[in-house]
Copies of this chain bind each other. A is one copy, B any other.
Amino acid sequence: MSRSNPRVLATLERAGGFASAQEVYRLMQREGESIGLTTVYRSLQSLVNEKIVDVLRRDDGEAIYRLCGDTHHHHLVCKGCGDTVEIEGGAIEKWAKNMAQEHGYREIGHTAEIFGLCSKC
């Protein structure tokens, strides 16, 4: 198993805590850091597993990685500019739990994202 390369995390932070793997890679290259694209992907993957980083998808399907706080939350993403708001999902948690119970499911997880156009777009 690979562990997350700290330089990747540092770069993601420097990028405003929001970038795709390719962007992180290009950024590191441009700043003269010697690293392989494979390692960038692996590190981001590890950061996701360690729940230090969150993955979302751009409209074109490219994965974007984003530093996130530890409270479990959901996202409100603008389809226009990609701006993201972290939101509480109390209602969702309950809904998920209810639905799961109703159908006899255990060890529940869920995903929920809202997307639309922000006031600026």
Contacts and interface: CB of A to CB of B under 8 A. Distances in A.
Contacts of A85: 103
A78 B91 contact: no
A1 interface: no
Contacts of A104: 118-119
A105 B117 contact: yes
A94 B61 CA distance: 27
A52 B108 CA distance: 28
B110 A110 contact: no
B114 A99 contact: yes
A46 B69 CA distance: 39
A99 B78 CA distance: 13
A113 B92 CA distance: 10
Contact of A109 (B87, B91, B108, B115): B115
B119 A92 contact: no
Nearest to A98: B91
Given A105-B118, A116-B105, A76 B99 contact: yes
Q: Which 5 A-B pairs have the closest CB atoms?
A: A104-B119, A108-B116, A112-B112, A105-B116, A61-B61
